[in-house]
Structure 1
Amino acid sequence: MATWKLIKLKFERCPAHFGELGIGMESTTERVHSDTLFSAWMSSYARLYPNEIDALLNGFCDESPPAMRISSTFIYRETDKGTIYYLPRPLRFPVNYPQGNDLEFFKTYKKLNYLPLKVLQRWYQGVGFTLADREELIAKTNGAKGGNLDTEGTFDYKQAFKIEKVPKIAVDRNTRATNLYHTAFLYFEWNQNGNSIQSLSGLYFLLHFPQDDVELATRLEDALELLGEEGLGGERSSGAGRFKVEWEDIPSDWQSVVKYPDTSTSHYLISLFWEDDVSQLQQLITDKSSYEIQERGGWIIQSNIRRQMVRMFTEGSVFPVEPHGKLVNVTPSELRTNNGGYKTHPIYRSGISLSLKIKAENS
């Protein structure tokens, strides 16, 4: 029986640094993509269970359904009205979205890169876009406040975190010359009551097991806790990226979202996705698709060697059929032998997708 989990990563007062391809140390994003989370998680799993990691990865590489699927991480925010879970806005308009050049509210609408779960469910699995939504977005464009979208936290995404630049000094090993630079650190909302620290915001992701596997779930939870102690992202030597894990069954407000009926006509990515099968891509990429592609790269842990570059479909992409994806071998040429083997072990990046069913305009 398939099961869903929702995992919160609570950073409390600990800063984080999440780099992206093409940006320097002076910038950081506020979340981590599914491929980065998967790689870091599997590295921790390999340290805890060195005799089990090969079997787990082989299960992802063969043609059978993978042992699990994970989403990318997204922001959650605790408020006095409950928890707001943000998700990327699908790249297709919701049902009943006004046709034509209705620019009175589009300036505000296009800035909504992330939607609260309740808004996404209403727009893409419920009644769709309403006249009241249009009027509120027009009012917001003109500087007014109030309305259902405002109450549900639609415009409060950036209140969950702040980014600060910290000055650092680099010292040349040969000349001892110094160089001043800045590193951006991400801080999530938190408060303190006595000696107790409460995370008011952080990251979460969804985990889907096609078949309930208690033993695997226990091992994965242990590996994730180890990752939390070591840190996720960059600047771990400075103490960045450490978190506490809250592992729970899918909350009630998510149940209808993940179990939306099969009669839906579109599938919406909440992870990165990679596929090289031409027949599969032909089914996915049609006039009913809307997608963006992002280059993914990065360094191999504890080395100065870069992984091979790969291009993936991003979160928010919408397809007419369910995308599945697979692991992609990104082992660089420096780590390959002449006979086709590997000097150490193959390096993988996860393009295994996780998607939700939605209704979208013209789908």
Structure 2
Amino acid sequence: MLVYIKPLSTFPKLHSDTLFGALTSAISELYPDLIEKMLKEFEEGRPPFLISSTFPVIFNDDEKIKFYPKLIMDSDLSNIDSKTLKDYKKVEYIEEELFNALIKGDLTEKDLLNNYDNYYRSLNLLMSEKLNVDFGFGENILPNNMVNRLINETEIFYTQGDSYKNLGLFYLVYLFDECYGKIIESAMKFLKDRGFGRDISTGKGHFDFEIESVLNYEDNEGDNMFVSLSRFIPTENDLKRINEYSFYEIGSKRGRDKSGEIRKQVRFFKEGSVFPNFQLTYGNIVKSGDINPAIEYGYAYPLRFSKEIK
């Protein structure tokens, strides 16, 4: 499944863990008899579906131009012009055509940078050429109040969202159990009515959406690598398989529940990290917090590919 989100107001950033939390909340409201069984399957390493993080998509009339995370690679960039490298560091997402060429080996990162003037960067997006469409997004950081019931004081925290113009988000769903296709669609309809994020009461986080039925990515016999399109919390078995052909960046998060409890720090591999391919699923979900434990989604969304290893 491919789900397109068209924000109608300021909209939050949605990594796979945040998206999973929203979908799970909606499913628990719509299918209360199903949610416990579903979460147990995730906890036992038998996920009924996998989701990616959300990534940008430009709406150009009937055309949808998708962007994927910049790959974390082992390229030798020592001879690349410093001005080019400085500009390339601003890139977070790469147009689908370029992304596919990079993972297939038809284009190397070094070749891309040696011919960087042939490409076009707008904001944090890198594409093959400048598009004839006015698009953009702007970041909004808004102050909010919260009462810490442990110390009975009011604290200020900040929420982040983006305003979009001819630009939205998309995410991928890999269905192991086909019946969850309709369940996720129902969850999206529920969230459409309610909104994403904490500021739905003030009109933020509202959206429209569209779903395309696409074939699940096949695990071909020759695919010896994968890139994760989600935040990936590895198991001990996953960590044992990391070797010199693994390229990754580590992120972390520390949540806070409604009571004010600060949950333990959770570490994960960021989207765009690359690893050897050796099984069907990677990662797991973990629980953090003692008072009201939260479920942190950490399954990799593996996009598999073949790479010649020398």
TM-score when normalising by structure 2: 0.81
When residues 350 and 149 of structure 1 are mapped into structure 2, their CA distance, relative to the original with a 3 A threshold, is closer
Does structure 1 residue 224 correspond to structure 2 residue 203? no
Match of 2:85 in 1: 106
When residues 207 and 241 of structure 1 are mapped into structure 2, their CA distance, relative to the original with a 3 A threshold, is same
CA distance in 1, matches of 2:209, 2:139: 22
Question: Structure 1: which 5+ residue stretches go unaligned?
Answer: 19-30, 173-178, 190-199, 336-345
Match of 2:138 in 1: 162
Match of 2:116 in 1: 137
When residues 304 and 183 of structure 1 are mapped into structure 2, their CA distance, relative to the original with a 3 A threshold, is closer
One-letter amino acid of the structure 1 residue matched with residue 16 of structure 2 = S
When residues 140 and 305 of structure 1 are mapped into structure 2, their CA distance, relative to the original with a 3 A threshold, is same
Aligned length: 296
| 3-state SS of 2:291 partner | helix
Q: Deviations over 1:218-262 (max 9, x none)?
A: 222112211222221232232211122212212xxxx6x934744
| 3-state SS of 1:151 partner | coil
One-letter amino acid of the structure 1 residue matched with residue 7 of structure 2 = F
When residues 352 and 185 of structure 1 are mapped into structure 2, their CA distance, relative to the original with a 3 A threshold, is closer
Match of 1:293 in 2: 250
- The 5-angstrom pairing of residues 97-246 of structure 1 reads 100-103=78-81, 105-129=84-108, 133-138=112-117, 149-151=127-129, 159-164=135-140, 185-189=161-165, 200-213=166-179, 216-246=180-210
Q: CA deviation at 1:347?
A: 2.8
Q: CA deviation at 1:288?
A: 0.9
Q: Deviations over 1:236-295 (max 9, x none)?
A: 232211122212212xxxx6x934744233210100111232x33111x21111111111
When residues 123 and 240 of structure 1 are mapped into structure 2, their CA distance, relative to the original with a 3 A threshold, is same
- The 5-angstrom pairing of residues 267-286 of structure 1 reads 267-277=226-236, 279-283=237-241, 285-286=242-243
Equivalent of residue 321 in structure 1, options 269, 277, 289: 277
Match of 2:296 in 1: 349
Does structure 1 residue 61 correspond to structure 2 residue 35? no
Equivalent of residue 9 in structure 1, options 2, 5, 23: 5
| 3-state SS of 1:351 partner | strand
The answer as to whether partners of 1:133 and 1:149 remain within 8 angstroms in 2 is no
CA distance in 2, matches of 1:111, 1:360: 26
Match of 1:84 in 2: 65
Does structure 1 residue 49 correspond to structure 2 residue 31? yes
Q: CA deviation at 1:203?
A: 1.1
CA distance in 1, matches of 2:303, 2:130: 21
Q: CA deviation at 1:206?
A: 0.1
Identity %: 25
Question: Structure 2: which 5+ residue stretches go unaligned?
Answer: 148-154
The answer as to whether partners of 1:92 and 1:361 remain within 8 angstroms in 2 is no
**Which protein has the bigger strand share?**
2
When residues 181 and 209 of structure 1 are mapped into structure 2, their CA distance, relative to the original with a 3 A threshold, is closer
When residues 299 and 159 of structure 1 are mapped into structure 2, their CA distance, relative to the original with a 3 A threshold, is farther
CA distance in 1, matches of 2:32, 2:171: 25
TM-score when normalising by structure 1: 0.70
Q: Deviations over 1:161-181 (max 9, x none)?
A: 112456x79799xxxxxx999
The answer as to whether partners of 2:252 and 2:265 remain within 8 angstroms in 1 is yes
When residues 298 and 355 of structure 1 are mapped into structure 2, their CA distance, relative to the original with a 3 A threshold, is same
CA distance in 1, matches of 2:141, 2:15: 22
Match of 1:73 in 2: 54
The answer as to whether partners of 2:282 and 2:300 remain within 8 angstroms in 1 is yes
When residues 110 and 163 of structure 1 are mapped into structure 2, their CA distance, relative to the original with a 3 A threshold, is closer
CA distance in 1, matches of 2:251, 2:70: 16
CA distance in 1, matches of 2:158, 2:287: 34
Match of 2:291 in 1: 334
Does structure 1 residue 308 correspond to structure 2 residue 308? no
CA distance in 1, matches of 2:39, 2:140: 37
Two-structure CA RMSD over aligned residues (Å): 3.5
The answer as to whether partners of 1:125 and 1:260 remain within 8 angstroms in 2 is no
Match of 1:338 in 2: none
Structure of larger gyration radius: 1
One-letter amino acid of the structure 1 residue matched with residue 56 of structure 2 = I
Q: Deviations over 1:137-175 (max 9, x none)?
A: 15679x9xxxx954276xx9x943112456x79799xxx
When residues 120 and 260 of structure 1 are mapped into structure 2, their CA distance, relative to the original with a 3 A threshold, is farther
CA distance in 1, matches of 2:76, 2:140: 39
One-letter amino acid of the structure 2 residue matched with residue 242 of structure 1 = H
Match of 1:247 in 2: 211
